[in-house]
Structure 1
Amino acid sequence: MKRRLLILGIALGIVAVGFIIMMILFSLKKQPQKTPRPQVEVFVKAETVKYRDLQAVIYSSGRLHAYNKVVVSSEVSGRLGEGDVPFRNGQKFQKGQVIAKVINPEFPLSLKAGKSTFLQNLALILPDLKLDFPESYPAWQSFFESIDIDKPLPDLPEPRSSQERTFLASRNILSSYYSLLADQARLDKYLIRAPFSGAFNEILQDVGVVVNVGTQLATIVRTDLYELEVPVIVEEVKLLSPGDSVWVSDETAKIRRKGVIRRIGAVVNPSSQAVSVFVSLPGDAGLYDGMYLTAELYGRIIPDVMEMPRNAVFNTNHVYVIKDMRLVEKTIEIVKRNDQTLYLRGLDEGEELVVEPLLNVSGNPIYKILR
C-alpha cells in the first residue's frame, strides 16, 4: 500500500515539475510584433482656388432666317415682263435692279399727252404773267423752256404772292402740274426694282400673263443679311446686351461666322422659360435660309469667379477640397453653368479644389494632389 502511494506521489511530482518547466519556457518566448496596416494613398486632380474676371459665354442653337422675306405685288395693270434678270426661282439680283416689268404702252403715251396739254396751257398764261407779275415771269419762262415730255417734270416755281397763286389756280396750272406728278410717280411703278440684294424664293406668275393691281408676282428673300433666333434661359439672358459679339457655326464646324446681337425679346416662352435672342449675320457663301446653327454668345464680364468642371460637383452645390491630405466637403455658390464647366464663388483663395469626380469615398486614405 505504501509503495503504491509512493509511486503515485513520484508521478504527480514529475507532472508538477514538467508543468512548471513548461510555464517557464513559455514565459521566456518573445511575442511576435504586429505589422501595421499600410496607409492608402490616393492621387486626385486639384487646382488652387484663385478668382479672376471671366467672360460669360452662352451656347444656344436655332434656325437661320433671311432678314427680309417679301411678297412682290403689282401696283399697276398690264402684261408681266422680265427685268434685268431672269424671272425664275433661285435667280439672284442686286439692290436697285429691275426684277420685273409691267408692260402697258398706253400709259406712257397718255402721260406725254398730259405734259403736252400742260405746256399748251402754260404757254397761254405766259403773256399775262409778263404783264401782271413781271418779277416772276423770268422764273416761269425758264420753267416752260426746261419741260421735256420725255423726262420728269422740273420743280414748279414758287409763287411770290397770294395774287399770283390765285391766278395760277384759276388757270388750273397747279392742279394740272400735281396731277402730272402723280402720273409720273405711277409710271415708275411699271418698273419693279429690288428693295435689297437677294433671290427669288417663289415665282407666282409666269412672264407674259396679264396682271392687275394687287396681283402677287413672286416671293423674294434677302441674301446679304440673315438673322438667327436662339433661345436663352431667363437666368442667363441678363448677361447679354444688344451689340454683343456672337460666333456662329454649323454642326460640322466647317462654317464659322461672326455676328452681333441685334435685339433681345421681351417675352418669356412659357414652355421653355427662355427668351428669344436675335443675332444678325452678314450674307456670305455657305449660309442659307432655314439652316440649323449653333451660337456662342459672348456676354458681359463676370468678376471674381473660378471655372471648374461640372462633373466634380455633387449634391447640387458641394465640392471637395484637400486640407492636410484629407478631403473636406464644402458648399459653393454657382454663378453660371456652362455645358461642361461652371463659374463658382464661396471658397477661400489658396484652397486646393478637387476638379475630378470622386466615387466611393470611404475609409481614411491620404489624398495627394496630381497636377
Structure 2
Amino acid sequence: MKRKIWIFAIAAGIVLAGVVVMFVLFSLKKEPKPTPKPQVDVYVKAETVQYKDLQAVVSSSGRLHALNEVVVSSEVTGRLSEGDVPFRNGQKFQKGQILAEVVNPEFPLGLKARKSRFLQSLAVILPDLRLDFPDSFSRWESFFENINIEKPLPAMPEPQSSKERIFLASRNIISDYYSILADQARLEKHQIRAPFTGAFNNIMQDPGVVVNPGSQLATIVRTDVYELEVPVIMDEVRFISVGDSVQVENDNSSAAWKGVVKRIGSVVNPSSQAVSVFVSVPGSYGLFDGMYLTAHLYGSKVKDVMEMPRNAVFNNNHVYVLEEMRLIEKPIEIVKRNDQTLFLRGLHEGEELVVEPLLNVTGNPIYKILR
C-alpha cells in the first residue's frame, strides 16, 4: 500500500515540476514586434480650382408644331375649282399661290356692267364740271379716261370744295364709286391665295361642289416656320432670354437644326413647376409637325464658376479636396445643374478638387493626383 502511495506522489511531483518549468519558459519568451503594414498610395482624378465665365446651356424636350394652322373658308358663292396647285391632302404650296377658285361667271359680268353705268354717269356730269368747276375739270377728265372696265377703278379725285362735293353726291358719283370698290373686293375673294408657304392638312370639300359664304374648304398648315414648346424648370428660366440661340436635335441626335427663343411663358405649370419656352425653328428638310425634339438653349453666361461632374458630389453639396495628400470634405455652392455636370462656387482657387466619385473612403491612405 505504501509503495503505491509513493509511486503516485512521485508522478504528481514530476507533473507539477513540468508545469512550473513550462510557465518559466513561457515567461522568458519575447513577444514578436508587429510588422507595420505598407503605406498604400491611392490615385484620384483631381483638377485645380479655377473660376471663369461659362455658357449656360439648358436642355429640354417637346413637340414641334406648325406656327400657323388655318381653316380656309369661302366668303362668296360659286363652284369650287382648283387653283395653281392640286386641291389634295399633303399638297405643298408657296405664299401667294392661288389655292382654289370659287367660280361664279355672273358676278364679274355684273361688275363690268356697273362700271359701264358709272362711266355713263361721269360722261353726263363732265360738261357741268367744265362750267361750274373749271379748276377740277382736268382731274375728272383724266379720271374718266383712265377707267377700264377690265381693270380695277383708279383713285377718284378728291373734291376741292364742299360745293363740288355736294354736286358729286347729288349725282350719286361718290356712292357708285365706293359700291364698285366693294364689288371689286368681293371679286378678289373668288380667288383664295395662300397667306404663307405651307401644305394642305385636311381637305373638306372636293373641287366641283357649290359652296356658299362660310363653307369650310380645307385646313392648311405653315411649313416654312415651326415652333417648339419646351418646359424649363424655374431654377433655369433665369438663364434664358428672348433671342437666345437654340440647337434642336431629333431623338438619336442624327440631325440638328438652328432656332431662336421667341417667347417665354409667364405661367408656371402647377404639376411640373416648369415654364414654357417657345423656340422658333425655320422650316427645313426632315422637320414635320408633331415631331418630338430636344432643344439645347444657349442662355446667358454664368460668371465666376467652375464645372465638375455631378457624380463627384455627395451629400447634396459636398466634395473632396486634397490637402497634403489627404482627403478633406468641404461644402460647395451649386449654381447650375446640367445633365452630367454642374457649375459650382465656394472653394478657394488653387485647391485640388477631386472630380471622380470615391467609394468606401476608409483608413488614412496617401492620395496622389492622376491628371
Query: TM-score of the superposition, structure 1-length normalised?
Result: 0.92
2:102 aligns with 102
1:8 aligns with none
Stretch of structure 1 that moved more, 358-367 or 158-167:
358-367
1:81 aligns with 2:81: yes
1:144 aligns with 2:139: no
Query: Secondary structure of 2:135's partner?
Result: coil
Please give the residue correspondences for 1:42-57 in structure 2 after superposition, counting only pairs within 5 Å: 42-57=42-57
Please give the residue correspondences for 1:270-281 in structure 2 after superposition, counting only pairs within 5 Å: 270-281=270-281
Query: Secondary structure of 1:369's partner?
Result: strand
1:259 aligns with 2:234: no
2:215 aligns with 215
Please give the residue correspondences for 1:136-175 in structure 2 after superposition, counting only pairs within 5 Å: 136-175=136-175
For 1:42, the aligned partner's letter is V
**Deviation (angstroms), 1:254:** 1.9
**Deviation (angstroms), 1:35:** 2.1
2:5 aligns with none
**Deviation (angstroms), 1:361:** 1.2
1:6 aligns with none
2:10 aligns with none
Please give the residue correspondences for 1:189-268 in structure 2 after superposition, counting only pairs within 5 Å: 189-268=189-268
Distance 1:268 1:287 in 2: 28
1:307 aligns with 307
**Deviation (angstroms), 1:251:** 1.0
For 2:225, the aligned partner's letter is L
1:334 aligns with 334
1:11 aligns with none
For 2:185, the aligned partner's letter is A
Distance 1:221 1:78 in 2: 25
**Deviation (angstroms), 1:40:** 2.3
Please give the residue correspondences for 1:32-51 in structure 2 after superposition, counting only pairs within 5 Å: 32-51=32-51
CA RMSD of aligned residues (A): 2.0
Distance 2:284 2:78 in 1: 37
Distance 1:312 1:167 in 2: 91
2:351 aligns with 351
Structure 1: where are the runs of 5+ without partners?
Answer: 1-14
2:364 aligns with 364
* 1:26-61 C-alpha deviation (Å, 9 max, x unpaired): 97x987554211122211111111111001000000
* 1:99-135 C-alpha deviation (Å, 9 max, x unpaired): 0000000100110010011011111100100000011
Query: Secondary structure of 2:120's partner?
Result: helix
Say how many residue pairs are matched.
354
Identity of aligned residues (%): 73
For 1:117, the aligned partner's letter is R
2:112 aligns with 112
Distance 2:228 2:305 in 1: 30
Query: Secondary structure of 2:131's partner?
Result: helix
2:282 aligns with 282
For 2:368, the aligned partner's letter is K
Query: TM-score of the superposition, structure 2-length normalised?
Result: 0.92
Please give the residue correspondences for 1:117-132 in structure 2 after superposition, counting only pairs within 5 Å: 117-132=117-132
Structure 2: where are the runs of 5+ without partners?
Answer: 1-16
**Deviation (angstroms), 1:255:** 1.5
**Deviation (angstroms), 1:253:** 1.5
Distance 2:261 2:69 in 1: 20
**Deviation (angstroms), 1:140:** 0.5
2:182 aligns with 182
Distance 1:86 1:31 in 2: 104
Distance 2:254 2:170 in 1: 72
Query: Secondary structure of 1:86's partner?
Result: coil
**Deviation (angstroms), 1:191:** 0.3
Distance 2:32 2:359 in 1: 38
**Deviation (angstroms), 1:180:** 0.3
* 1:149-198 C-alpha deviation (Å, 9 max, x unpaired): 00000000111111001100000000000000000001000000000000
